[in-house]
Amino acid sequence: AQTVTQSQPEMSVQEAETVTLSCTYDTSESNYYLFWYKQPPSRQMILVIRQEAYKQQNATENRFSVNFQKAAKSFSLKISDSQLGDTAMYFCAFMKHNYGQNFVFGPGTRLSVLP
């Protein structure tokens, strides 16, 4: 079974600074997807970024980028130029390839961006 670990329950960062959220996972699969979701205080979960395991290039979406280390089973999220609107819970998630099944979510990291 797959597991996803986020070792930082809470983090804070000053506005305009850069912060990195950690995620590790355990799987015997060779092809899979990884995701970061954001859940602001308003509650709706929003997809931030996705990475396909067969792609070596790290995904980037504007201020959000990942450091995907397949051998180490690590998938960290870097937020550059942090903004107050980035304050949220962040969940790392794993999905097997070609399965119509669920994701496996990590326990989440609560990020606070301080003015």
Partner 1 sequence: DVKVTQSSRYLVKRTGEKVFLECVQDMDHENMFWYRQDPGLGLRLIYFSYDVKMKEKGDIPEGYSVSREKKERFSLILESASTNQTSMYLCASRPLNQPQHFGDGTRLSIL
Using the rule CB under 8 A, is 54 a contact of partner 1? no
Closer to partner 1 by Cβ: residue 18 or 54: 54
Site for partner 1 (CB under 8 A): which residue of 76, 91, 111, 113?
91
Task: Measure the CA dihedral 32/27/64/57, to 10°.
Answer: -60
Closer to partner 1 by Cβ: residue 13 or 95: 95
Closer to partner 1 by Cβ: residue 10 or 17: 10
Are the C-beta atoms of residues 94 and 27 closer than 8 Å to each other? yes
Angle at Cα 46 formed by Cα 54 and Cα 16, nearest 5°? 90
Rounded Cα gap, residues 4 and 74, in angstroms = 10
* Total chain residues near partner 1 (CB under 8 A): 22
SS3 call for 85? helix
Using the rule CB under 8 A, is 35 a contact of partner 1? yes
- Site residues, partner 1 (CB under 8 A): 9, 33, 35, 37, 42-47, 50, 91, 97-98, 100-103, 105-108
